[in-house]
Amino acid sequence: MSDPIRLAVVGMGKIAHDQHLPAIRDNAEFRLVATVSRHGEATDGLPFFASIDELAASGLAVDAVALCTPPQVRRSIAMTAIAKGWHVFLEKPPGATLAEVVTLCDAADAAGISLFASWHSRYAAGVEPARAWLAERTITRATITWREDVRVWHPGQHWIWEPGGFGVFDPGINALSIATRILPHAFFVEQAELDVPSNCAAPIAARVDFRDTQGTAIAMDLDFRQEGPQSWDIVVETDAGTLTLAKGGGELSLPGGETPAGTALHGEYPGLYARFAEIVRAGTSDVDVAPIRLVADAFLRGRHIPVDPFVE
């Protein structure tokens, strides 16, 4: 395939408009040919469909789809796309459950389809330099603090509080996607506390203790109730000093004022679409389940603590 990849975007919410559409427009590897949503309207005069089934029945030439729907409905949509022979880009989290993602991997492999589980925070500017620096250090402790105001970042998104919506682990999985990329040893959940509002099915805050295979402690603090300054920080203590990755991976500080190597990526979503084009052209897939596996384990091992109802 040498012509632009003909792409349809499914699920036209905030993330699609804010991140996906601009990244697609700026990447010559792709040509947006349609959008799909239960709500909304056509984009740039392109064909618009109310469902993936309508798109599939239309006869429109499509090579790939980017799925930006809530995770609870993503598996069935992805299976329809795979059955049509379309490559699939999954917004994070890639599914409502780990088993769903594994099933999609198996289906894509059987069909010879490229499947991409996109972890956008891994494409932040500081992540790869942090990974390279930590690879040569002994880690003594790590702390993950992800605190944001859900009313600002997820206004009106009721699906996030439903089963499979992840609650505070929706942003928390961004932190885990970075941590599983930069930390040199695998880590696992030892214990967790999940604060669940009495009117919700998913947590509004969580505290999780991890330990890696070398015995190093990793503590994570997530909270959707943060007002004022927001925190998206990972601090890693090592034998050579402390590394701080702030602003969701966008700002890296090393001990002694060292200047990290630069990155060729310009923004997270442009990096994601460059990677998606790469695997489509190569006929491969890129699906790392480590972040969603850790979230599943936090729910498995977590103690649920009832807290006040959440009212937006």
State the catalytic residues.
Answer: 92
Say which residue the tokens 């993602």 belong to: 101
DSSP assignment string, 207-252: EEEEEETT--EEEEEEESB--SS-EEEEEEEETTEEEEEEGGGTEE
* 3 state SS of 87: strand
Say which residue the tokens 């993330």 belong to: 15
Structure tokens at 191: 């214990």
Query: What residue type is assigned to position 162 of the chain?
Result: E
DSSP assignment string, 30-78: EEEEEEE-SSS--STT--EESSHHHHHHHT---SEEEE-S-GGGHHHHH
Task: Report the relative pairing of strands 241-246 and 231-238 from DSSP bridges.
Answer: antiparallel
* 3 state SS of 111: helix
The answer to whether the beta carbons of residues 33 and 62 sit under 8 Å apart is yes
